[in-house]
Amino acid sequence: MNLSEDPHRRLNPLTNEWVVVSPHRTRRPWQGDVAPVPAAAEPDYDPNCYLCPGNERAGGIRNPNYASTFVFDNDFAALKPGLPPGIPRERFDFEARGLLVAESEPGICRVLCFSPKHNRTLATMAFDEIETVVETWRQQFRELGNVDFVNHVQIFENRGAMMGASNPHPHCQIWGTYSIPQEPSKELAAQYTYFSSCDRCLLCDYVDLERREKVRIVAENARFLAVVPFWAMWPFEILICSRTHIGSMNEFTTDDSRQLSTMLKQVISTYDKLFSVPFPYTMGFHQSPTDGVDHPEWHFHAHFYPPLLRSATVRKFMVGFEMLGTPQRDITPETAAERLRQAAGG
């Protein structure tokens, strides 16, 4: 079997799920949906933006005239902090047979504006500005993780209208949840099983393997490694892993913050060069749970899931077989990594 030519499937050891790879399909014609080219550049300040300094938000609260990062509780939060945690609501009558199950889910949802400048991105901000964002992430992770009912803190950014971002102002969301969400739960189980059976860290071993093979690496510095993972599902997916074994931003040194800032700018700038547009993506950090239990198996990492496939206007859709069967991709992770390295000029 030739992995660069023959159809095959690859296992994601972080979730124990498979992805089908079909390299021979890269030559198929495309007559499907073509997205519009991204709009022209935004101004520094937009009087109609509810995230710009001094403007009134949709919930009626006016922003301060902030000059750096700005954090506030989401005016339309998906979760509420006042609920008692984990109270079940189940029906065990004859008709339901335990199939209608629900439980309360308290949480805290916050918004973090990266910059007062409406038209900035992590790719165009200065290194020290990005480092301020990272330090704010660290502070928020520690603060929310210390809330008694919060067992997981999820930091994530949706960039671009294609990814459902409701506002182009540079920002992310931070959710502290009572339960550990599904994707981190699968990763927690996989890392625990690997650690228990091998007495080693799954992602430490994977980082070592990628650094030996050198075919899927996109960028690397003293503290972090960015790769198109062997099991990547999205066309230009990237996984960033810490090169040393740390579980969360609580363990960061000042140099870790600085090196992560450098890596984020490099990765997102490379994305923007690939098709010469601001690259849409969903990005998020997966960190050890904040449930008061030691998690030596957990390794700090971040996922980038960008949808673009062939150009700035042609995206990958997860439909049909992907929704009903198994995720499938055409371009191999190795080819995607090579194209990203070329875009970066490396």
Which pLDDT tens digit goes with each residue over 64-116? Answer: 999 999 999 999 999 999 888 877 766 555 566 667 778 889 999 999 999 99
CA 115, 117, 122, 123: dihedral to nearest 10 degrees?
-160
CA angle at residue 154 from 184 to 307, to 5 degrees? 80
DSSP-derived secondary structure letter, 297: T
Residue 346: per-residue pLDDT:
57
| Alpha-carbon span 179 to 85, nearest angstrom | 9
* Strand-pair partners of 72: 111
Q: What domains appear along the chain, each with residue ranges and CATH number?
A: 9-21+34-344 (3.30.428.10)
What Å distances lie between residue 119 and 190, 265, 275, CA to CA? 40, 16, 19
Cβ count within 10 A of residue 8: 14
Q: What b/e string do you get for 311-344 counting C-beta neighbours within 10 Å, with b at 16 or more? A: ebbbbbeeeeebeeeebbbbbbbbbbbebbbebb
24 has catalytic annotation: no
Cβ count within 10 A of residue 93: 9
Cβ count within 10 A of residue 195: 18
The alpha helices in the chain, defined as continuous H runs, are 127-145, 182-198, 202-213, 254-274, 321-324, 333-344
Indicate the burial class of 240 (C-beta count within 10 angstroms; 0-12, 13-18, 19 or more): buried
Confidence of residue 208 (pLDDT cuts 50, 70, 90): very high
Could you say which of 118, 171, 299, 303 is catalytic? 171
203 contacts 243 by C-beta, under 8 angstroms: no
Residue 35 in this model has a pLDDT that exceeds 60: no
Confidence of residue 310 (pLDDT cuts 50, 70, 90): confident
Quote helix, strand, coil % in the chain, to nearest 5. Answer: 30, 20, 50
Query: What is the full DSSP assignment across 3-54?
Result: TTTS-EEEEETTTTEEEEE-GGGGG----S--PPPPPPPPPS--TT-TTSTT
Cβ count within 10 A of residue 220: 17
Mean per-residue pLDDT for 290-308?
A: 97
Mean per-residue pLDDT for 142-162?
A: 96
Residue 30: per-residue pLDDT:
43
Place of tokens 């339960």: 179
Residue 38: per-residue pLDDT:
60
Confidence of residue 40 (pLDDT cuts 50, 70, 90): low
Beta strands 217-220 and 224-227, pairing class:
antiparallel
Angle, helices 254-274 vs 127-145, to 10°: value is 120
Residue 89: per-residue pLDDT:
66
Higher-confidence position of 102 and 327: 327
